[in-house]
Amino acid sequence: GYHNHHPQHYDQTRYYGVNLHNVWYRGTVEFRWFQATLHAGKVKAAIQFVLAIAAKALNSRGASSRKREFNPASAKYDFRVFLLHLGLIGDEFKTARKHLLNAMPGDAAWKNGRPKPKDPKPAAETTEVCNGAN
């Protein structure tokens, strides 16, 4: 069995977003990204998100270690694109996308914000042509 030479109830590695502490003892991974809730839609969204990440990790050939710049103005759009790359596409995952994107700033449909409508062109003056008939 396992003998802890430095008795401490919990190891410090358990307090990360992805807790790998029990991989070697119980064969489990713990994701600590979500707040406690009883809302069924939020729980389902969290489960679908974690399962999609796990599936992507299992099925991908590699990953990039290059850090991306964070732009808060386009965070919601970037995260929506990430969710689509994970395969959370279609009506089946509509609720999951809604709950995962809910608290993020920005616009999910536009990377640089919704474009402002162009000024309507003034209507060209029309001239009435009289054909001489009254």
pTM > 0.75:
no
Contact 105, 77 (CB under 8 A): no
* Predicted confidence (pLDDT) per residue in 47-83, tens digit: 999 999 999 999 999 888 898 888 888 889 999 999 9
Q: Which residues contact 83 (CB under 8 A, 6 or more apart)?
A: 49, 52, 93, 96, 97, 100, 101
Residue type for position 121: K
pLDDT of residue 38: 92
pLDDT of residue 18: 84
Contact 90, 127 (CB under 8 A): no
* Predicted confidence (pLDDT) per residue in 3-54, tens digit: 666 656 666 666 678 888 778 878 888 888 888 889 999 999 999 999 999 9
Closest by CA position to 53, among listed 96, 10, 14, 98: 96
Domain-wise residue ranges, the chain:
36-59+68-111
